[in-house]
Structure 1
């Protein structure tokens, strides 16, 4: 487990602490080299434990949706495996992002998004989002970038409980012990909601329940050697509404359509082992093993899909004066069993180097990866395919002064098709007919990012611009109602601007802004017969912004107000930009007040969607999934020893 340097700052620290924290450096570790983000040769966005505490969020989904630059929304209603997009990759953006927790990869081998609902927000010490970078260290899927989540050993005991309207309730218990030679931490996280929509014909609402536990520990038997382990499990039972027509959505987003809500049961059990040995001042060796069993069951559409993921890494780091080299081998073996067996195996070798002068940081890396697919159906012919791919990256950061730095990064990355892309299901006859789609090409992205970091005692500013040229971007082409094929967009490109700024306005008042302007254009696509050429990729908002204010009320109170807005765009399946109905703008204003009663106890109240906005996900005309469509509230308390 890689712990973030430094400890999380107390939410209710002295009034002057917020001001001084802006001048303190933030550490990033995307290349396995810890450095100040001011010196990083790539674009980064970092969220610390104190940021998480201030937000009042209780789930990773809520935090990323309300506080980050990511475009994140429930996957057709499912908040536990949401669609996540960055830099204009649209509805398949989650396949162009590698998400990891302490090095454990969350990406699936099929078209299901990452199960971020299995991660307790209370365990997270730091979230590091790298933009347009990560292809060397993470390989397949890091075309838009990476989301790296780090946890930290706990010390002491913490008990938290909360409740709200619509049957929202939860409890979090954690305990930990940190000593010179070992540490041990444990967390239990339970959450439940009765649902926000009207009951369906079976009497169920869009209710959900999630139970997660995690144990982690480390041992330092001798100087220079660290052994660590981690294990955990998540059990999730969720229901989400069916799509509404425009008229139904306008009348009441919480109504039911006469059909039963979709129910999904998710389970994940995982464990990890790791070792790190500092041989001498120059050499450090490391090895990691991750093992995960997952299942996904839709009771209305059995059988369950069973997953087994096994990954390993062996790496070495060499450091001499200003030079640091990381080299290693990684494998990720995924298997899905459901009406046969489908496997995807990734094998990768990487070399990443960095050279740091007094004011200049240079980085370069290369990766060679082999991807093998095999499908063994219950009957019929087996299928197999193999790809060998290369990714590489160059970066530079020049510090012009203690406050100002310029950086540039060029990345050549790839994403291979998920196993579902080799099949298509035709529903046009009323019953599903599945057939072999044909092997499609990996997508490749070449991304240039340039930017600047400016940091003073009163603000921390990041500004970057990017341009990405893509070939064979992967998508689903609808050939008719409820029928289509998986194929590639021949040529496309994306570009945009990204702005982050944290400002200390007064000793008691601070603010932040996270803004992105993004364009995603389809240059040429033969399967669309020219109808898609020059059109915008659907599901990509041109503008997205998160605004926040944090006010210290007296000495023991803290008020946090944030507003999230994403501009209107084309519906998810509208590749020719010709649908009558567009994806409407998303808006949510969220308010949290936390008050410390004494050094052990604090209480809080939170209101989400304060202005009662009606939000939804437009898939096509008259197919709208309602999300966060009304005001909700929570009350909670936390005791720490």
Structure 2
């Protein structure tokens, strides 16, 4: 866990960045027109809407078995941030953050406390996932700018590398249309002194576009000493034509948070809102700058992203007889050039993608220094055959090498190491439509994850880094869709070796004995009337040890079943309503590796709803979270001698009123 020390928010720096961005001028880049081969392929393909291959791609080449959340879905549900959209609309289970932020820990396929390390989050081709024990910060992404969110479950290390065993969440922002503009002002207030204000604007001319969003939010949250404040700015500019685009984007956030600490079960039952650490607090400053380009040249699509991110984390923890105050600063630079050839082979549509991913991450904290470098090369080929039945088959491979260095002379765990690790990934995928509307698909492969700097700093053997985690992945599924409904079902299996996990019995990060995740997922959407739509997402996960002393035992902090369902009403008179529920099964406590604890984290169900009404350019809405005021928790880490502790209470009922003006 990162150490933190309180500093005031740095909103003036964000405002300065916003002003500077507005005056940046870059010489437009001329790009070549599409060649004759590309034009012929473009005539065959439908409009561009999907980016499953790290390029803009046709719906015919959408990620196999993916869940896609559209901008309309986001607006109808009335979610105010990207993380909420992924959970409420995409059906992804999430655990409430420990620092009061809206960035819940997202969990694909039941990876418990390390869920955020076993999925990759990408924004417009740039990886957001961290080389630390922290979640990707999604609250800085203005939800108004999101065009769609693609959720691809299961192993995806060929294209996305480290940590993609659970899957990939790909966030795609809106592309500019020539000679258009849009803007909005949003304000919201609610219980627990919650408030948010956001203003955004975008303008596109014949070949140039710019956009900017500035927002501030605050809340006291449900628990004592859990206040959270954030100021964020996002803005960018790009030059574009029919052959490609080039541009840049800046995103920054300043967060201040109060940290309430964990509770025992007795404390939770007496008063779940109390704080066990009434003085702990911290802050986080994050800045990310990205330069991107993509254009077509001589029948090839060329693209590259260069991203730089700097993050400063301060914290102050207080305990009997002392305190712990610390500051850490991390920097990361990523460069991802890639090329695609989309054409025909023997009359069959063929897509070949190859690329290189280079990254360097470093962090300094007091006397501790950590660094990780990685370099990867990948190749993926997909062929579409039997156009009448939309047959597809693809294969891909990846090789990645990691160089890790760590030095902390005063460390309580490791004091230093220097290690190089090389990993391979592969995948095979296929889909076929035997009947009109019915698609069957399958994929198999190998994915991997390496221990991050926080995990390698506290291992069972001092100065010995953990072994890479490997997973052999298998998935079979079917999807049926027509004008009124869509149903997708999948069965999956992940057999893992050297799974990286924190073992509270040894107070160290370890490589576990072989484990597995296997289960079933069902996504369904049905239009039950002209104005009514119902949707549901169900996941069953059997997460257990395959070998070793705990063979057959359940993994900790993994609910065996989760279910989410939503009902939406969208008449044509400017009204809209949305109500949803999420049920989560019971779970093992975080220390219960041998399943000896008599109790479990209780299951729970919550209900949320929203009603909105438009009046011209205005929209007014009322929304509620946890409407039944359910007392529950999804994070609990200790069960010793039958005593349950390490509990982090989740939020109680919250009501909000909002207004939006669009221009």
Q: Normalising by the residue count of structure 2, what TM-score does the alignment of the two structures yield?
A: 0.85
Kindly indicate whether residue 603 of structure 2 is the aligned counterpart of residue 603 of structure 1.
no
Kindly indicate whether residue 248 of structure 2 is the aligned counterpart of residue 214 of structure 1.
no
Structure-to-structure mapping, 1:466-505, within 5 angstroms: 466-479=492-505, 484-505=507-528
**Local SS of the residue matching 1:65:** helix
Q: Deviations over 1:272-315 (max 9, x none)?
A: 111212113x2111121000100111133332110101000111
Q: Distance in 2 between matches of 1:602 and 1:158?
A: 11
CA contact (8 A) 1:132 1:411 kept: no
Kindly indicate whether residue 383 of structure 2 is the aligned counterpart of residue 355 of structure 1.
yes
Partner residue of 1:254?
273
The alpha-carbon distance between structure 1 residues 123 and 393, as it changes in their structure 2 partners (threshold 3 A), is same
Partner residue of 1:5?
none
Q: Distance in 2 between matches of 1:425 and 1:517?
A: 32
Kindly indicate whether residue 481 of structure 2 is the aligned counterpart of residue 455 of structure 1.
yes
Q: Distance in 2 between matches of 1:99 and 1:459?
A: 28
CA contact (8 A) 1:42 1:131 kept: no
Structure 1 residue ranges without an equivalent (≥5): 1-23, 199-204, 427-434
**Local SS of the residue matching 1:630:** coil
Q: Normalising by the residue count of structure 1, what TM-score does the alignment of the two structures yield?
A: 0.88
Q: 1:397 aligns with which of 431, 434, 444?
A: 431
CA contact (8 A) 1:38 1:405 kept: no
Q: Deviations over 1:595-624 (max 9, x none)?
A: 0012x1110000111111112122223325
Partner residue of 2:166?
144
Q: Distance in 2 between matches of 1:317 and 1:127?
A: 22
Partner residue of 2:444?
410
| Cα shift at 1:27 | 4.3
**Does 67-76 or 42-51 show the bigger shift?**
67-76
| Cα shift at 1:180 | 2.9
The alpha-carbon distance between structure 1 residues 550 and 38, as it changes in their structure 2 partners (threshold 3 A), is farther
Q: Distance in 1 between matches of 2:630 and 2:376?
A: 46
Partner residue of 1:567?
585
Partner residue of 1:319?
342
Partner residue of 1:558?
576
Q: Distance in 2 between matches of 1:262 and 1:411?
A: 44
Q: Distance in 2 between matches of 1:224 and 1:506?
A: 42
The alpha-carbon distance between structure 1 residues 319 and 197, as it changes in their structure 2 partners (threshold 3 A), is closer
Q: Distance in 1 between matches of 2:397 and 2:274?
A: 52
Q: Distance in 2 between matches of 1:158 and 1:548?
A: 27
| Cα shift at 1:102 | 1.1
CA contact (8 A) 1:210 1:234 kept: yes
Partner residue of 1:307?
330
The alpha-carbon distance between structure 1 residues 625 and 36, as it changes in their structure 2 partners (threshold 3 A), is farther
Q: Distance in 2 between matches of 1:448 and 1:538?
A: 23
Q: Deviations over 1:530-558 (max 9, x none)?
A: 1x221011111111111000113571211
Partner residue of 2:313?
296
Q: Deviations over 1:337-384 (max 9, x none)?
A: 112210111110010111111121111110010011011336797520
| Cα shift at 1:35 | 5.2
**Does 373-382 or 189-198 show the bigger shift?**
373-382
| Cα shift at 1:80 | 4.8
Kindly indicate whether residue 630 of structure 2 is the aligned counterpart of residue 613 of structure 1.
yes
Partner residue of 2:195?
169
Structure-to-structure mapping, 1:401-440, within 5 angstroms: 401-424=435-458, 436=462, 438-440=464-466
Partner residue of 2:132?
110
Partner residue of 2:398?
367
CA contact (8 A) 1:118 1:268 kept: no
**Local SS of the residue matching 1:521:** strand
| Cα shift at 1:441 | 0.7
Q: Distance in 1 between matches of 2:459 and 2:515?
A: 26
| Cα shift at 1:36 | 6.2
The alpha-carbon distance between structure 1 residues 153 and 35, as it changes in their structure 2 partners (threshold 3 A), is closer
The alpha-carbon distance between structure 1 residues 40 and 541, as it changes in their structure 2 partners (threshold 3 A), is same
Q: Distance in 2 between matches of 1:26 and 1:344?
A: 36
**Local SS of the residue matching 2:466:** coil
